[in-house]
Structure 1
Amino acid sequence: MLKIEEIREIIKLIDQSSIEEFVYKHEGSKVELKKRTSVEVVQGPSINTIPAAIAQPSTPPAVEVSAPQNNEQENTSQVESEQFHKIVSPMVGTFYMASSPDTPAYVEVGSTVNEDSIVCIVEAMKLFNEIEAEVEGEIVEILVKDGQLVEYGQPLFLVKQK
């Protein structure tokens, strides 16, 4: 069975990614994590459902683990409802705003871009892939944080097209 520290680390990784559900099974035990819902720990035939908490199989009381609430997604849905172009990740990888930590970001909110403008880098399997805007316009919102894991097709930027 996973240790509580390992479960906390998994929660952090899932919270930073777009993964909605994680299931771990081992020797008759099952840990199931779902974003914005509940966490279930199953041992044998019994099921314990504890919203926003993690139960240790050997101890009846739950150990509270509070995952940070992502208010950015709520704000993003308001902005996305307007007609903006989404620049999406073409692959699974790690999102970087700049080519190195000591250089400025490729773009910021308010930056003007054209079809060939590099807006970020997505690292996948030690390869750094430059992502181009593919549209002409102004960066309205950056939807992910520097160093965050991104999924294929995940929106990275919103652009107000010219």
Structure 2
Amino acid sequence: MLKIQEIREIIKLIDQSDIEEFVYKHDGSKIELKKRVNKPAQETIQYVTEVVQEPQPVIRQEVVPEVPAVEKAPAASETAPVQEVVENSHLHKIVSPMVGTFYQASSPDSDPYVKVGSEVTSDSIVCIVEAMKLFNEIEAEVEGKIVEILVKDGELVEYGQPLFLVEPK
């Protein structure tokens, strides 16, 4: 059976190529990888949509004197996600290398691998993603400090989905 690092390398190679599906069979084991071609484009469109919508609150602010104070709050809250994207642009995202279930610890009784504020090295294990009854340890791949955990324990994650934000050293 392939080691997790070998599977990661295969995933990276498939991600960089035009291959949409990959199947590996050996000694009764089978690994099947499928690339979702439209997924990254949808994420990009959503990001661009958020950035494009940034001027809307500014236009609404010009109209604010005529609008009751109750509507002023939503306009301010609409600008918050855009500002957060700009502020977090220097942060490194640790993404899921596969589709599976996210776990913060090796067992329900154990402490999480990392918490917000934890220092990590490139080979630090930050979580486990279970796929097809296999528990795959996910490494940080960067040195720094965990700033945010983006998924909840036991949540299903997609290939390429951000799991953690890390402030690099």
TM range (shorter): 0.5 to 0.7
How far apart in 1 are the matches of 2:165 and 2:131? 22
Say whether residues 1:154 and 2:161 are aligned partners: yes
How far apart in 1 are the matches of 2:95 and 2:122? 14
* TM-score relative to the length of structure 1: 0.52
Give the secondary structure class of the aligned counterpart of 1:90.
Answer: coil
How far apart in 1 are the matches of 2:121 and 2:81? 23
* TM-score relative to the length of structure 2: 0.50
Q: When you count strand as a share of all residues, which structure comes out higher?
A: 1
Q: State the identity %.
A: 74
Deviation at 1:128, TM superposition (A): 0.1
Give the secondary structure class of the aligned counterpart of 1:159.
Answer: strand
How far apart in 1 are the matches of 2:152 and 2:141? 21
Deviation at 1:77, TM superposition (A): 6.4
Match for residue 123 of structure 2 among 102, 106, 116: 116
Consecutive unaligned residues in structure 1, runs of 5 or more: 1-19, 21-73
How far apart in 2 are the matches of 1:120 and 1:139? 12
Name the residue aligned to 1:87.
Answer: 94
Indicate if the aligned counterparts of 1:95 and 1:147 stay in contact, CA closer than 8 A. Answer: yes
How far apart in 1 are the matches of 2:81 and 2:109? 28
Give the secondary structure class of the aligned counterpart of 1:152.
Answer: coil
Q: Deviations over 1:79-137 (max 9, x none)?
A: 44321000000000000000000000000000000000000000000000000000000
Indicate if the aligned counterparts of 1:76 and 1:143 stay in contact, CA closer than 8 A. Answer: no
How far apart in 1 are the matches of 2:133 and 2:126? 19
Give the secondary structure class of the aligned counterpart of 2:122.
Answer: coil
Name the residue aligned to 2:104.
Answer: 97
RMSD: 2.0
